[in-house]
Amino acid sequence: MQRNKLYAHNDEQRILSNENLTDRHPILYPDVQEMIDFALDCTGLILGVLTDVNHATQYSNIDDWEGTLMLTRLGLKYQEYDFQQREKAFEAEMQRRLGGNDNGELQ
């Protein structure tokens, strides 16, 4: 019985002390951000389990900027080449339909 009284009185002394818990252990912005991220991860996991749909929270190549930019440039070059080929094919088709020859004159 004495043990319970000891803990009860210590708790009362701690609660009634002038020292504030937030003064001793302040909650900083990184702590809040970590809690928010943890909550988002948990809710995403729960929603994924319930709906059987799981979305990636971060791209796998997020740190590979050079590779991403290189592939983007390559894609733009291919797009330009593809556009030129389609333009040539369209012009050839129009020449054929209009009955023109290779130098652009109508027959």
- The larger pLDDT score, comparing residue 58 to residue 90, is at 90
Residue 73: the pLDDT is 92
Note the pLDDT of residue 18.
65
Residue 55 lies in a domain: no
Indicate the pLDDT class of residue 74, thresholds 50, 70 and 90: very high
The answer to the question of residue 97 being in a domain is yes
The answer as to whether 40 is a domain residue is: no
| Mean residue pLDDT across the chain | 80
- Per the structure, the complete domain to which residue 76 belongs is given by 64-107
76-79: long-range contacts (C-beta < 8 A, 24 or more apart)? none
Tell whether 37 is covered by a domain. Answer: no
Q: Is the pLDDT of residue 61 over 70?
A: no
Distance, CA of 102 to CA of 73 (rounded, Å): 34
pLDDT of residue 78: 93
Q: Which residue has the higher pLDDT, 63 or 49?
A: 49
Instruction: Identify whether 68 is part of a domain.
Output: yes
Number of domains, the chain: 1
